[in-house]
């Protein structure tokens, strides 16, 4: 006597897999809804920058020097979109490396790069004129990738479909996707 047909086994396995996937999906959804209020920054919101400090005569500024970093929308003119002052340690040639955003707890504001427009960085050593602006290249714009955690500013949990609770297209009433998967599986078994 054959209790299970050969065709019903794959259908039952598919239904079981659907149930397991649905149940596994419940954990992360609740975790997303709890962490959406306070997203954690996986990407450090800092940008490395290296340069050379010189005085008006071209002589290197050495040792610890107070330096203001200014970010602009345009190559010339306009007001800075962002600025930060750091104490920079330069070598005997005036060379230095800093992490822009390191003096701010939130780092560089990601909104500075969200428009996709060019950004220009200027450096001004203490008691010196502002140096010519330098175009920032692609790496700082990767900060925009942080926004990929949302869709249009909304968390992914906002786009989850609610389980159907009314009759639709003859499927019958079902309150969860798992029940729906079992119902489809049962209907298919009846066909064979």
State both tokens at 155. 């968390």
Specify if 170 maps to a domain: no
139-168: pLDDT as tens digits? 655 656 656 666 766 777 777 676 655 555
Specify if 136 maps to a domain: yes
pTM: 0.54
Range of the domain at 142: 47-151
Specify if 88 maps to a domain: yes
5-58: pLDDT as tens digits? 555 545 555 555 555 545 455 444 434 444 444 555 466 788 899 999 999 999
Q: Cα–Cα–Cα angle for 51, 52, 55, nearest 5°?
A: 140
Specify if 125 maps to a domain: yes
Specify if 90 maps to a domain: yes
Would you state the pLDDT for residue 32? 42
State both tokens at 48. 């490395």
92-145: pLDDT as tens digits? 999 999 999 999 888 888 888 777 788 999 999 999 999 999 998 866 556 566
Specify if 27 maps to a domain: no
Number of domains composing the chain: 1
Strands (E), the chain: 47-52, 63-72, 82-90, 95-100, 120-125, 134-135, 150-151, 154-155
Specify if 121 maps to a domain: yes
Specify if 14 maps to a domain: no
Q: What is the CATH number of the domain that holds 84?
A: 2.60.40
């Amino acid at each position: 006597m054959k209790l299970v047909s050969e065709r019903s086994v794959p259908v039952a396995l598919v239904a079981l897999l659907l149930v397991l996937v649905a149940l596994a999906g419940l954990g992360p959804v609740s975790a997303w809804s709890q962490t959406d209020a306070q997203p954690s920054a996986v990407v450090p919101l800092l940008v490395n920058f290296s340069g050379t400090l010189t005085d008006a005569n071209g002589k290197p500024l050495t040792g610890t020097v107070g330096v203001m970093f200014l970010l602009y929308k345009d190559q010339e003119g306009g007001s800075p979109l962002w600025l930060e002052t750091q104490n920079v340690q330069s070598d005997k040639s005036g060379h230095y490396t800093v992490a822009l955003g390191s003096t701010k707890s939130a780092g560089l504001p990601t909104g500075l790069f969200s428009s996709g427009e060019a950004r220009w960085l200027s450096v001004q050593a203490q008691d010196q004129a502002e140096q010519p602006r330098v175009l920032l290249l692609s790496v700082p714009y990767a900060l925009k990738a942080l926004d990929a955690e949302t869709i249009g500013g909304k968390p992914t949990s906002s786009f989850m479909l609610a389980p159907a609770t009314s009759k639709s297209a003859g499927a019958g009433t079902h309150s969860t996707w798992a029940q729906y998967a079992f119902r489809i599986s049962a209907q298919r078994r009846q066909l064979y």
